[in-house]
């Protein structure tokens, strides 16, 4: 395996996510970016992709400040990469701003030729080669990556025509799945073909999630020889996003622990929560490293989890920083959770038979449960009619309780 790590693109593709609009945030503030990059660095990420500075003044200014901030942390091996069109302006501005490398790209599909930049294959090859060759000549130590945008819809022959001309001038060749059409099979096929043809060059992959395959494609890419995978916090990126860094780390941990040795996995969940607090959104339920993934609602599940969480929790998410689980009282809860809740949280002295009766009444009201009429309130009203005694627990024991529901 050739895996060298992640290229975080939270600050580039991440800011292209529709979630920035859904949350009315539109862009991350400098403060947000500093907090997030600190978290990512603590996690173990070392490569960060930013917009080319000419995208906007504020992005350019933020980059300068972040670079200084990260320098003050004195962490070795950090690399800042500017996402640049193969355009002299983008390249000039990125180098002036102090980036360590350029993530260059151009579309080579028939659609890009006709509807985007308007150049044909021959013109693309001549232009890109000229630019990359000159950049390499003047900046021999600058990290250079070149990607044929929309690689999986670009005929392999055309990619080879281009990459044959430039592979000796770049550090990394990218294979982005811009519109999310790749499958594990096509990923493996392409990476194998690239590895045979360009054995000295690293391969970087960037998988969009339009088919929900960005995670499995990333795993397949690593297995077949990709050096870098582009990721972001929450998998935020254009449309339905790319591979989530924490989802990928969780899977790498289960597939091949040695690939996670440079990462402090306990940071995964706090990092996801940090993004949630910035966007004022819950961590996505599709994200494996989330509290949702430790939340149980159905009576059968709740009973089993109360006895032994392993029945419905196969993965130890504590490794990834999710310290708790949740059993939600609601229309699907049964006598076991109700017994637990009334006894352990509300300190009623009741029997399991009484809990069974209460739960029948509670379930008969399931259609009435909503935001204004919460399950706990409905349950309280029912319990009120049972005149149950309360358990007497000494104050000092109460203080020792793990759960604090106040």
Q: Binding residues for ligand HCA, per CB under 6 A? A: 13, 16, 83, 103, 105, 147, 149, 174, 176, 178, 206, 208, 238
Nearer residue to ligand HCA within complex by CB, 90 or 336: 90
Which residues share a beta bridge with 176?
206
Q: How far apart are CA 202 and CA 173, in angstroms?
A: 6
Nearer residue to ligand HCA within complex by CB, 206 or 335: 206
Nearer residue to ligand HCA within complex by CB, 4 or 357: 4
Nearer residue to ligand HCA within complex by CB, 174 or 334: 174
With tokens 């003050």, the residue in question is 72
Query: Does residue 52 contact residue 84 with C-beta atoms inside 8 Å?
Result: yes
Q: How far is the CB of 103 from ligand HCA (least distance, A)?
A: 5
Question: DSSP label at 322?
Answer: -
Nearer residue to ligand HCA within complex by CB, 49 or 62: 49
DSSP symbols for 219-278: HHHHHHT-SEEEEBGGG--STT---BHHHHHHHHHHH-GGGGTTS-GGGHHHHHHHHHHH
Q: How far is the CB of 166 from ligand HCA (least distance, A)?
A: 15
Q: How far is the CB of 100 from ligand HCA (least distance, A)?
A: 16
Q: How far is the CB of 308 from ligand HCA (least distance, A)?
A: 43
Q: How far is the CB of 224 from ligand HCA (least distance, A)?
A: 18
- Residue 391 makes CB contacts below 8 A (sequence gap 6+) with 343, 347, 348, 349
Say how many C-beta atoms besides its own lie within 10 A of residue 405's C-beta. 7
Give alpha helix (H) positions in 1-109. 19-22, 30-43, 57-73, 88-97
The number of helices, as runs of H, and strands, as runs of E, in the chain is: 16, 10
Q: How far is the CB of 206 from ligand HCA (least distance, A)?
A: 4
The first and second tokens of residue 22, run together, are 């859904």
Nearer residue to ligand HCA within complex by CB, 208 or 303: 208
């Amino acid at each position: 395996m050739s895996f060298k790590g992640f290229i975080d693109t939270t600050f580039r593709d991440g800011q292209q996510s529709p979630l920035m609009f859904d949350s009315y945030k539109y862009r991350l503030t400098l403060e947000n970016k500093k907090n997030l990059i600190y978290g990512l660095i603590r996690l173990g990420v070392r490569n960060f992709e930013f917009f080319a500075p000419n995208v906007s003044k504020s992005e350019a200014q933020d980059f300068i400040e972040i670079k200084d901030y990260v320098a003050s942390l004195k962490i070795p091996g950090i690399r800042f990469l500017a996402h640049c069109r193969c355009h002299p302006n983008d390249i000039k501005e990125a180098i002036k701003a102090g980036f360590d490398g350029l993530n260059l790209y151009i579309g080579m599909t028939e659609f890009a030729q006709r509807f985007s930049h308007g150049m044909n294959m021959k013109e693309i090859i001549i232009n890109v080669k000229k630019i990359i060759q000159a950049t390499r000549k003047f900046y021999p130590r600058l990290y250079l990556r070149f990607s044929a945008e929309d690689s999986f819809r670009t005929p392999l022959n055309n990619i080879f025509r281009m990459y044959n001309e430039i592979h000796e001038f770049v550090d990394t060749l990218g294979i982005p799945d811009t519109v999310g059409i790749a499958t594990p099979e096509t990923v493996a096929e392409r990476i194998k073909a690239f590895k045979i043809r360009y054995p000295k060059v690293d391969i970087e992959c960037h998988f969009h999630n339009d088919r929900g395959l960005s995670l499995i494609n990333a795993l397949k890419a690593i297995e077949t020889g990709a050096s870098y995978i582009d990721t972001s916090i929450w998998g935020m990126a254009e449309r339905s996003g790319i591979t989530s860094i924490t989802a990928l780390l969780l899977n790498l941990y289960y597939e091949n622990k040695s690939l996670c040795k440079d990462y402090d996995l306990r940071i995964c969940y706090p990092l996801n929560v940090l993004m949630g607090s910035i966007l004022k959104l819950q961590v996505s339920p599709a994200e494996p490293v989330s509290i949702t993934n430790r939340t149980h609602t159905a009576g059968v599940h709740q009973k089993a989890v109360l006895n032994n969480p392993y029945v419905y929790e196969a993965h130890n998410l504590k490794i990834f920083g999710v310290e708790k689980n949740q059993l939600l009282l609601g229309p699907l809860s049964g006598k076991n959770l109700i017994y637990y809740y009334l006894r352990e949280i509300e300190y009623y002295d009741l029997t399991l038979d009484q809990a069974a009766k209460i739960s029948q009444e509670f379930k008969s009201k399931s259609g009435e449960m909503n935001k204004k009429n919460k399950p706990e309130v409905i349950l309280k009203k029912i319990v009120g009619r049972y005149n149950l005694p309360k358990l007497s627990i000494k104050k000092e024991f109460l203080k020792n309780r793990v759960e604090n529901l106040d």
